[in-house]
Amino acid sequence: MFSRRFDMGVKIGGAVLGASVLCVFLVIFFGVRNTVADVGYRPEQPVPFSHKLHAGQLNISCQYCHAGVENSAHSPVPTTQTCMNCHTAVLPESPKLQLVRDSYEKGTPIEWIRIHKVPDYAHFNHSRHIRAQIDCKSCHGPVEEMGVVSQFKPLSMGWCLDCHRNPEANIVGARPISGVFTGQMHKVKDLLDSTYLYKPIPAQVAAASDLKDMVTPSFGQKQSPLPKYHVDGIPHPKKAGIGPENCSACHY
């Protein structure tokens, strides 16, 4: 009924159409859906550093290596000096640490590969979230269980807004391993039976009635009340509030 040439054209056209539909589906599925965007990205680092060993088994606080995150917009990458604070005595001859020793002796930084990154047109401030007693796990997942760190959350705009709109369902309260200051310190006698200085607390979200507009008109920016200082010189934590939804909060 149909010529051989027509039959071949139908097969080729069907294959091209099917491939095109598949490509469009994959682009939409992986490029638009927040639940899959970059989740699982796990590059090989120049030094085989295990968070599962250091944070999980040895209970080294996140803020020992990522020092100053409660004051900085960015979470700093630990310096080689931080590594050598321990490794001048612990496994000083390990071949896995040769690059670390070379970096320390030559004064050149290790070129770690960045894993978590928001677009250049977006701004995320670590200190504001840490001060609101939002634990690192909320965004980075259970890093203390990862031998090789991978991206745990999509870090997309939709994902951020989901947390801003419903923080109680999304944030993890400050945990001892993260070293987030909660404003509550152990008493001296309690420290004898404790491995951390600050008492962990559940995630606290300010009541909507306690939130005040930061500017007029508010543009969605609210301020939760600040508590009194318990320890001088430490940026004191506050309860997390409903996050802003205005464009300028993250894009400026």
- Note down pLDDT in tens along the chain; length 252 residues: 567 776 777 778 888 888 988 888 877 776 655 555 688 889 999 999 999 999 999 989 898 999 888 888 888 899 999 999 999 999 999 999 999 999 999 999 999 999 998 888 899 999 889 888 889 999 999 999 999 999 999 898 889 999 998 888 888 888 888 888 777 777 767 666 666 667 766 667 777 777 788 777 766 677 777 776 666 767 777 778 788 888 888 887
Q: For residues 172 and 62, what is the distance between their CA atoms, to the nearest angstrom?
A: 15
Predicted confidence at residue 212, as pLDDT, reads 80
Instruction: Tell me the two tokens of residue 226.
Output: 């600040």
Residues near 56 by beta carbon (within 8 Å), at least 6 away in sequence: 144, 145
Q: In Å, how far are 47, 154, 162, 221 from 130, measured between CA atoms?
A: 28, 19, 18, 18
Identity of the residue numbered 218: S
Chain segment 138-147, per-residue pLDDT in tens: 999 999 999 9
Report the alpha-carbon distance of residue 151 to residue 117 in Å, rounded.
Answer: 10
Q: Give the DSSP per-residue string, 2-49.
A: --HHHHHHHHHHHHHHHHHHHHHHHHHHHHH-TTTSSTT--PPPSS--
Residue ranges of the domains in the chain? 51-77+112-249
Segment 211-250, tens digit of pLDDT: 788 777 766 677 777 776 666 767 777 778 788 888 888 8
The answer to whether the predicted template modeling score (pTM) of the entire model surpasses 0.85 is no
The residues facing 205 across adjacent strands are 240
